[in-house]
Amino acid sequence: MTESTIWWLLAGSAVAVELITGTFYLLMLAIGLAAAAVAAHMGASLNTQFVTAGLIGGAAVVGQYFLRKRSATDPSIRSLRSVNLDVGEVIQIDAWGPDGTAAVKYRGANWTAIHRPGVTPAAGPHRVAELVGSRLLVDRV
């Protein structure tokens, strides 16, 4: 069995394990294993194949880590007006409770409003920023 065949089998195994476990980082390592298989096809030495697998696979893992880390700061899907038509609507809050919530009448129903952490609640008009479960997260207008 040639070296490239072994690398391809390892890459295929990594993909199969990823499909079973759902660990996306295994796909990135499979890219490194596939790069080593290509290096073996090109006649590279065994040491070069290992270095290629490590560098390409490692770079893919690090790149995926930073992509996921950056997308974690994206706004919540619950705060998009295209997803929830309540976002952006203005409600009137008369009083806040001692637990940091307010009971409001909105769209003919009773809702519980909450404010962002670190914000001092005050009565008056508020804009719905997002829905958190069955609560309205509001910002002061």
CATH number of the domain bearing residue 101 = 2.40.50.140
pLDDT of residue 72: 60
Residues of the chain below pLDDT 70: 71-75
Instruction: Identify the pLDDT of residue 75.
Output: 67
- For residue 88, give its domain range: 77-140
Residues 61 and 93 in one domain: no
The string of pLDDT tens digits covering residues 6-25 is: 999 999 999 999 999 988 88
Q: How many domains does the chain have?
A: 2
Single pTM value for the model:
0.54
What is the chain written as a DSSP string?
A: --HHHHHHHHHHHHHHHHHHH--THHHHHHHHHHHHHHHHHTT--HHHHHHHHHHHHHHHHHHHHHHHHHHTTSPPGGG-TTT-TTTT-EEEE----TTSEEEEEETTEEEEEEE-TTPPP-SEEEEEEEEETTEEEEEE-
Regarding whether 9 and 52 lie in a shared domain, the answer is yes
pLDDT for residue 67:
84
